A and B are shown apart, each in its own frame.
Chain A
Amino acid sequence: MRSFGRSCRGQGKVFVKLVRQTEQQLLDQGEAISTLAQQAQASLEQTTTLSESQRARLSEHLTTAMRHHEQLRKQSKQLTQGKKLAHCKVVNAYDPTIAPIIKGKSNCPAQFGRKPGIISEPATGYLFANLTPKGNPSDESYVLPLIDKVEQAIVRVQQGPKRSIHSLAGDLGVNDPVLRQALHERHILSVGIPKTVAPINPHPSAQEVLDILNEAGLNRKRTPHQVQLACASGYSRPVVESHIATLLSRGAGAVRYKGHEGAVVQQGMTVMSYNGAVLVRIRQQKMTKRAQKFRRLLGLKSPKVSKIKQEKN
């Protein structure tokens, strides 16, 4: 018998020998599956009663099932030999893209699902892009794909001055020197990503601003004013959590469509409806004082209320 899990979760006990014996019996029973599948594939090709499309569909299903079986078998063998599992472990035979949710689960049983990433404006919470990866990768792997998506949106802008990303904020999970270097190469300040648990200074002195610019090597690319704004909009847990809570209330909390494609569609639709609500809120000027101040500093125009009223009348 062996105990596992953190003591704060309440340690579970498992009869390791029994598990390994049962696992081996099941593996022995499933030994013949690959031979049977090959026979089924051959029979499927020879059959004349099915149409071409039906045959193709059944063949695809069979191949998918065999691929999943092979993954499960490989994983089970690793378990019986006492080896540590790889990052993307299979937890659902019907959907290998699902992974255990590790984030924020320090005091409850681990659940299985997905971990979408979002990139938002800190003032109003407008989501510029989202990413629903397969499995449960590390947080820093989300950053560059999300930035690429934002840059694709910027390319589509037709009016006004040329837009660019000045700074990026994130929690300690995205604190990676390689990622910081990649951001600096794209002329993006990484001052909003904390290096320790200590909070970021929202009002840096002139010397500190200069140090930040020198450290990033962006002296001629970014201005001191942009650095001050970047520090002011550094990572703040309550701000980001409020965006996430609103998104969850719109149906992003539980994916009800099947598979990874279903999750992408559902999360995308939720993000679009959330953004629609944010834009309505901006037009109606229903924003916090912090958001209003931040928008003023960014030089974002506010819609003229009198003009809207005239149009309405």
Chain B
Amino acid sequence: MNWAPQSSLQGRKGDEDICRRFRTDFAVIYACGLREYRINPSQAYFVLPATLCEFRGRIDEALMDELIAIQAAAAMDDGLVSPAHLVVDTFPCEQGSQRVTDATTLYKAQKKH
């Protein structure tokens, strides 16, 4: 599942979209372990977008680290991964959408040629 949340105003729309996919997209249903659950057809959403937004807002750095640690510990418990040999690296990521400026356009145009 591709987790690509949107900013501020788009955030709510993104939550509605993912909540809709909980009912319609088999890949999302499979990834979230909802195959066995019987969804009530009279309800518009399986998970309310407002609840998802609230849940996401309460996640902080400590909780996120804990979630990743729990996931890693479970994988090690099952003998699927080992922390014996590890590799460290960094990668750049942009903040927000890239602003279209004359410099960017000129740079991209030069690169195409």
Contact = CB atoms under 8 A, between A and B. Distances in A.
A276 interface: yes
Contact of B103 (A109, A154, A270, A279): A109
Contact of A170 (B1, B3, B87): B87
Contacts of A265: 5, 56, 59, 64
A132 B36 CA distance: 36
A143 interface: yes
Interface string A50-63: 00000000000000
Chain B contact residues, majority secondary structure: mixed
B90 A113 contact: no
Question: Which of B6, B7, B69, B103 has the most C-beta atoms of chain A within 10 angstroms of its own C-beta?
Answer: B69
A168 B97 CA distance: 34
Interface residues of B, number: 50
B95 A126 contact: no
Chain A contact residues, majority secondary structure: mixed
Interface residues of A, number: 96
B33 to A, nearest CB: 10
Interface string B1-44: 11111111011000000000000000000010000000000000
B91 A251 contact: no
Contact of A233 (B69, B85, B89): B85
Given A121-B82, A256-B7, A261-B61, A154 B76 contact: yes
A167 B88 CA distance: 11
A218 interface: no
Given A251-B2, A255-B94, A275-B71, A119 B77 contact: no
Interface in A254-299: 254-258, 261-273, 275-276, 279, 282-283, 298
Given A95-B95, A153-B83, A273 B3 contact: yes
A119 B104 contact: no
A210 interface: no
Contacts of B68: 127-130, 149, 153, 268, 271-272, 275
Given A118-B91, A120-B87, A270 B76 contact: no
Contacts of A116: 90-91, 93
Nearest to A250: B2
Nearest to B59: A265
Interface of B: 1-8, 10-11, 31, 56, 59-61, 64-65, 67-73, 75-77, 79-98, 103-104, 107
23 contacts: A103-B92, A105-B92, A113-B92, A114-B95, A117-B89, A117-B90, A118-B89, A127-B68, A150-B72, A156-B73, A163-B84, A165-B84, A168-B87, A170-B88, A233-B85, A248-B91, A248-B93, A256-B10, A265-B5, A265-B59, A271-B68, A298-B82, A300-B80
Nearest 3 pairs between A and B by C-beta?
Answer: A251-B4, A156-B73, A268-B64
Given A129-B69, A233-B85, A264-B61, 19 more contacts: A95-B95, A98-B95, A109-B103, A114-B95, A115-B92, A115-B93, A119-B87, A121-B83, A128-B72, A154-B76, A163-B76, A165-B83, A168-B88, A229-B84, A250-B3, A254-B93, A256-B7, A267-B93, A275-B71
